[in-house]
Amino acid sequence: MELYLGVDQSLQRPGLALVDSAGTVVHTATTRVGEKLRGAKRLEALVRFLHSEIDEWPKARWQLTAMEGPSLNSTHREFDLGEASGVIRLALYRIFVVEPLIVAPSQLKLFATGRGGADKTEVMNAVNQQWGVALTDDNEADAVVLAQIARAVHQRTRCATRKQAEVVAALSASDAKPKASRPRRKSTINI
């Protein structure tokens, strides 16, 4: 079975989701990190959670992973969020030996709802409606969207909406190799 992984590395309840090649949600999970764990213990708990969930699918053929990028407007424990993002990114790279796709929060919301400024409830409702699940955790819903984005970018199939296609096009373009830069034009000054 081909699988796509989405990871939402929130501070309180990190979530993940697995989607198959047809876009069917096959698994979601969250773990409570909460306020009790701090520092390296918290980061270790995140990595253990990721490994325990992925190890449940030994026969899967992993295609692409996606994780939520940093929220530049965050006002709550930005340092902790940055650490979690770095640790999850490294863990995904070590497991799959492929750089995970980094999806901005506004792209995640745009893909799910058609609005880049949608709130968590709107995203969860859109996920439940579009992909036929009954999620009650917004972190699992975000992870489903991330997995669906990974699938859409990898398969390059036709998206259901124009906004989804815009997100896929933007992520596919950023994933492309950078073009060679032109040499700077030398300016001369006559004295």
- Domain, as residue range, for 25: 2-175
Decide: residue 172, CB within 10 A, 0-12 exposed, 13-18 middle, 19+ buried.
middle
Spatial contact of 190 and 183, defined as CB atoms under 8 Å apart: no
Q: How many domains does the chain have?
A: 1
CATH code at position 34 = 3.30.420.10
pLDDT of residue 107: 96
Q: Give me the torsion for CA of 138, 144, 145, 148, rounded to 10°.
A: 180
pLDDT of residue 50: 92
pLDDT of residue 184: 45
Spatial contact of 146 and 103, defined as CB atoms under 8 Å apart: yes
Spatial contact of 37 and 95, defined as CB atoms under 8 Å apart: no
- Whether 35 is covered by a domain: the verdict is yes
**Per-residue pLDDT reduced to its tens digit, 109-149:** 999 999 999 999 999 999 999 999 999 999 999 999 999 99
- Whether 143 is covered by a domain: the verdict is yes
- Whether 118 is covered by a domain: the verdict is yes
Which of 17, 20, 100, 99 is CA-nearest to residue 59?
20
- Whether 181 is covered by a domain: the verdict is no
Residues of the chain with pLDDT under 50: 176-187
Distance CA 105, CA 109 (A): 6
pLDDT of residue 75: 60
pLDDT of residue 85: 87
- Whether 78 is covered by a domain: the verdict is yes
How many C-beta atoms surround the C-beta of residue 125 within 10 A? 16
pLDDT of residue 11: 76
- Whether 184 is covered by a domain: the verdict is no
- Whether 86 is covered by a domain: the verdict is yes
How many C-beta atoms surround the C-beta of residue 136 within 10 A? 8
